[in-house]
Amino acid sequence: MPPVKHKKAKPKNSDRKNRPAPKAPTAPTTAQTVTPAIVSSAAAQVDPLPSSGTAAQAGHLAASQRVHSPTLEAFTSAEPSPPSLAAMEIADQLHSAAIHLLRRLRVRDRETNVGPAQLSALSVLVFGGPRSLGELAEAEQVRPPTMSRIVSGLQRAGLVRRHATEDGRRVRLEATPGGVSLMWAARKRRVESLANAVAGLPENEKQQLRTAIALLEQVMRNL
């Protein structure tokens, strides 16, 4: 009899070796996992390097929405517009001219033998009427103790006197006849100095000065 041929048994794991290895699970892409809400939230942080076109578009959209938000527009419209360059130049020249004018006129005040602070407080009482100590301090923009010392000096000079009010708790200050006379004489000297300076101007410039004074009064009302 011919010899019997025996078939070799295949190893059980041979099929597994020939099969391709399964691919490792990959992380899902941004477009697959990030929801529109998350994209909008991330874009709102204005990422300088957006990872996808969708995020970049959302970033630009969020930025444009912030610029045109009603709150920002209301805040921007509430801000006062700055004065123009021409207005600033005129204001600077006017400020300088006013200071120099007062300094030159103040030279004539030396003839009163009264200090500038006392003369200024006296002018308020003469041309503005009686005031309390607090009201006079507020008008002169000084503290009440400072004004009290100024008034004491005016009292010693016989230019101001005190009057008790009805409730007895407040004191009214008024200029004496001597204080009124001194103040009007000082005003006259100032006006005469100005008149001498204006007299040398041509008639057309005098008219221009009248117009400028009217404009200056309008500016003071706007302050």
Q: How far is CA 180 from the centre of its chain?
A: 41
CB–CB of 180/126 below 8 Å?
A: yes
- 26 inside domain: no
Confidence of residue 81 (pLDDT cuts 50, 70, 90): confident
Q: What is the pLDDT of residue 213?
A: 93
Q: Is the pLDDT of residue 45 over 90?
A: no
Predicted pLDDT at 66: 44
The answer as to whether 3 is a domain residue is no
- Number of domains the chain contains: 1
Greater model confidence, 1 or 202: 202
16 part of a folded domain: no
| Domain of 148, in residue numbers | 86-222
Whether the model clears a pTM of 0.85, i.e. scores above it, the answer is no
Q: Is the pLDDT of residue 73 over 70?
A: no
Q: What is the pLDDT of residue 171?
A: 83
Instruction: With respect to residue 129, please indicate whether it lies within any of the assigned structural domains.
Output: yes
Average pLDDT of the chain, as a whole number = 76
In-domain check, residue 77:
no
Model pLDDT, residue 3: 55
Query: Is residue 198 situated within a structural domain?
Result: yes
CATH of residue 175: 1.10.10.10
Percentage of the chain beyond pLDDT 70 is 64
Q: Given this model, what pLDDT does residue 22 score?
A: 54
> How much of the chain, in percent, has pLDDT values that exceed 90?
55
**Please, which contacts does 183-192 make with residues 24 or more away whose CB atoms are closer than 8 Å?**
183/119, 183/122, 183/123, 183/126, 183/127, 184/126, 185/112, 186/108, 186/109, 186/111, 186/112, 186/119, 189/108, 189/109, 189/111, 190/105, 190/108, 190/109
- Distance between CA atoms of 86 and 88, rounded to whole angstroms? 5
Please write down the HEC assignment for all residues of 165-191: CCCCCCEEEEECHHHHHHHHHHHHHHH
pLDDT class for 166, splitting at 50, 70, 90? confident
Instruction: Tell me, yes or no, whether 199 lies in a domain.
Output: yes
> Considering only CA atoms, which of 106, 80, 74, 85 is closest in space to residue 189?
106
91 belongs to a structural domain:
yes
Residue 29 has pLDDT above 50, yes or no: no
Give ∠ CA 112-115-116 in degrees, rounded to 5. 100
Q: What is the pLDDT of residues 87-100, one digit of tens each?
A: 899 999 999 999 99
